[in-house]
Structure 1
Amino acid sequence: MNDSFGRQIDYMRISITDRCNLRCRYCMPDGIIQCDHDEILTFDEIVMICKEAVKLGIVKFKITGGEPLVRKDCADLIKMIYQIEGVEQVTLTTNGVLLKDYLEDLIEAGLRSVNISLDTLNRDKYREITGFDEIDMVMDSISLAVEAGLKVKINAVMHDKNYKEDFENLISIAREHPIDVRFIEMMPIGLGASSHLVSNEELLNELGKRYGEIEFDKVKRGNGPAIYYKIPKFKGDIGFISAIHGKFCKDCNRIRLTSRGELKSCLCYGNEISLKDALKAGDSVKVGRLIKESIAKKPEQHCFEEIENITEKKKMAQIGG
């Protein structure tokens, strides 16, 4: 289905929990209010939503959280979605801590691609950012996922002035392994609004200084807005997702589903459409109609560069990754 601006909406990001086993300071610090377990969507409800979404041309799904792997039987949900006729792809975004424990089940369910959030390779800094000393678990998960044949991408946010060591260390992953490393600009939502913003323009300039011969890759890959650069002798590529300095709204192809059953068509605005009543009534026709309404109301663009006009007041963890 196309929205009112002619964009084809074929991708849905589904948050299956607002809980996480880490406490990243810009996303889910201690004290954030989380919903009760009986408030989050059941797997059957999520599958109903996906079935109606597929009828509208949404055939690619990303499972997110919180941390999706803290929810029991996440792999079963992926398998259930893959069994819907018309579904082309189901992928996963995770912090990687639990990935190796569930890797076999996830692959058996059909998972072929995973994004792992990782902002630093420095043990002390990782503990400072996340609140836990789990860097070894994450690195083990990355290695095992690559060995198992999954397409692995690293998602990193540079969110302080002393980023250059982290930047270089993360880039080295792409040098040594067939892993794409992507740098995401901090969005001014929730606690992100008070974090230091390192622009991807600055990171790209830094990349050029360090490696010189970088080549823009024109090939479209994945479902997101990342642009990629190739570096000679690197096994993986370097990507940039620039929400602020590379506004990509004209190509946006997604809507989001929160763990409580609200549809969001843009992260910037507080507007949302609840599916809960329709789901409780088992009214799949109404669910489909509400998805269609959400797509039709998708705004033309965000206004992250005008913080005073942002109407979304929830924390990122309450919306979904």
Structure 2
Amino acid sequence: MSRLPLATTAPVAPPAPLLDRFGRVHTDLRVSLTDRCNLRCTYCMPAEGLDWLPRADVLTDDEVVRLVRVATRRLGITSVRLTGGEPLLRRGLPGLVARLAAADPAPELSLTTNGIGLARSAAALAEAGLHRVNVSLDTLRADRFAALTRRDRLADVLDGLRAARDAGLAPVKINTVPVRGVNDDEIAELAAYAVEHGYRPRFIESMPLDAQGAWDRERMVTADEILDRLGERFALVPVGRSGNAPAEEWRIAGTDTVVGVIASVTRPFCGSCDRVRLTADGQLRNCLFATEESDLRALLRGGADDAALEAAWRNTIAGKGPGHAIDSPDFRRPERPMSAIGG
């Protein structure tokens, strides 16, 4: 009796890298789930808030899942960060996370949040497949937090940090934007708090992305100043930069805590940028400071197939510029503020 040949499964070829004209490979996707926020941080938006996107304009869960699937299967995206606005305001977020975590190939999933709703959602998000979180925290003083955010919610954020740590969303990172004369006297205090509680602090130079257009470079605390403040209290051991990550890192001597400094303005890392951004209303941006967008939502709702979405994505990234040019006289602020772009 003749035997049929054994069935074989040919290996699936990896997707072609998502390249721009400078040879940078893009593997990190930031997906904004909403432009809405439950804080009114003074360096981000006015007290009355902004005109939110109409709900019909925001991508549905199905649309988000499909675009992420195209990104991972056809474009080589390996890391997806969910942002906002405040992403915890998205209804049914654990279910969306579970669907993204079930993708093949599955991306590394993380979340950037203000932490207010994290205490009640951290465990469900971890169970759904979220890997880690970044929590924005600019002060440890309740009165200052209320003044900065126009909301008295510091206790909720600190509870959220603990819940994220207890749920295993590690490392739990704390993102701090020091502003001169506002909270720059707390840099070392925030780092000490992170050491005490097992978090990973990151300090970020402020950028011209506020809705009011009030950014003032003179009030920006530079990376060198941040390191000087940390050095007054701690011995710092250089770690360097991990791959294309934006943060330069140092270990606080005598601890396991690694502190990161993101010098977006004074030490731009544009030459190794591997990020691409998708806004809550489905606009693809090849740079945080991009002044043009590509409308993937219109393609989705117009019946485009995956090949057409891939082609639009590749074309957008191919047109990426060399850098943000903040120090150039030709610099143009994007029309959208950070809350509408996605962090």
Normalised TM-score (structure 2): 0.89
Note if contact 1:7-1:251 (Cα within 8 Å) is conserved in structure 2: yes
Rounded to whole Å, the distance in 2 between the matches of 1:265 and 1:319 is 11
Question: Cα distance, 1:260 vs. partner?
Answer: 0.7
Provide the identity percentage.
Answer: 36
Structure 2 match to 1:210: 233
Q: What amino acid does structure 1 have at the position aligned with 2:150? A: G
Corresponding residue SS for 1:270? coil
Corresponding residue SS for 2:68? helix
Aligned pairs (5 A) from 1:149-164: 149-151=168-170, 152-164=172-184
Structure 1 match to 2:22: 5
Structure 2 match to 1:16: 33
Please, which moves more after superposition, 8-17 or 291-300? 291-300
Corresponding residue SS for 2:82? strand
Rounded to whole Å, the distance in 2 between the matches of 1:164 and 1:276 is 41
Q: What amino acid does structure 1 have at the position aligned with 2:314? A: K
Please, which moves more after superposition, 61-70 or 302-311? 302-311
Note if contact 1:24-1:129 (Cα within 8 Å) is conserved in structure 2: yes
Question: Cα distance, 1:318 vs. partner?
Answer: 1.4
For structure 2, list consecutive stretches of 5 or more residues without a partner in the other structure. Answer: 1-16
The answer to whether the aligner puts 1:272 opposite 2:318 as a matched pair is no
Structure 1 match to 2:326: 304
The answer to whether the aligner puts 1:64 opposite 2:83 as a matched pair is yes
Aligned pairs (5 A) from 1:108-147: 108-147=127-166
Question: Cα distance, 1:174 vs. partner?
Answer: 2.6
Question: Cα distance, 1:163 vs. partner?
Answer: 3.1
Rounded to whole Å, the distance in 2 between the matches of 1:20 and 1:73 is 16
Q: What amino acid does structure 1 have at the position aligned with 2:324? A: H
1:76 is matched with which residue: 77, 95, 108?
95
- CA deviations on 1:219-277 (whole Å, 9 max, x unpaired) are 617x6311111112234221101100111011100100000110111122311111122
Root-mean-square deviation (Å): 1.6
- CA deviations on 1:32-67 (whole Å, 9 max, x unpaired) are 221111110001111111111111101210000000
Question: Cα distance, 1:308 vs. partner?
Answer: 4.8
Q: What amino acid does structure 2 have at the position aligned with 1:47? A: V
Structure 1 match to 2:221: 198
Note if contact 1:117-1:154 (Cα within 8 Å) is conserved in structure 2: yes
CA change 1:306–1:36 in 2 (3 A) is same
Structure 1 match to 2:314: 292
Rounded to whole Å, the distance in 1 between the matches of 2:232 and 2:307 is 55
Aligned pairs (5 A) from 1:245-284: 245-283=266-304, 284=306
Note if contact 1:16-1:64 (Cα within 8 Å) is conserved in structure 2: yes
Note if contact 2:101-2:130 (Cα within 8 Å) is conserved in structure 1: no
Residues paired across the two proteins, number? 319
Question: Cα distance, 1:123 vs. partner?
Answer: 0.5
Corresponding residue SS for 2:232? helix
Question: Cα distance, 1:281 vs. partner?
Answer: 2.1
CA change 1:311–1:206 in 2 (3 A) is closer
Corresponding residue SS for 1:108? helix
Aligned pairs (5 A) from 1:178-189: 178-189=198-209
Question: Cα distance, 1:87 vs. partner?
Answer: 2.4
Question: Cα distance, 1:203 vs. partner?
Answer: 0.7
Rounded to whole Å, the distance in 2 between the matches of 1:193 and 1:203 is 22
Question: Cα distance, 1:285 vs. partner?
Answer: 2.4
CA change 1:169–1:17 in 2 (3 A) is same
CA change 1:167–1:192 in 2 (3 A) is farther
Normalised TM-score (structure 1): 0.94
Please, which moves more after superposition, 230-239 or 90-99? 230-239
2:107 is matched with which residue: 84, 88, 94?
88
Rounded to whole Å, the distance in 2 between the matches of 1:64 and 1:318 is 10
Note if contact 1:61-1:90 (Cα within 8 Å) is conserved in structure 2: yes
For structure 1, list consecutive stretches of 5 or more residues without a partner in the other structure. Answer: none
Q: Which of the two has higher C-alpha Rg?
A: 2
Question: Cα distance, 1:192 vs. partner?
Answer: 6.1
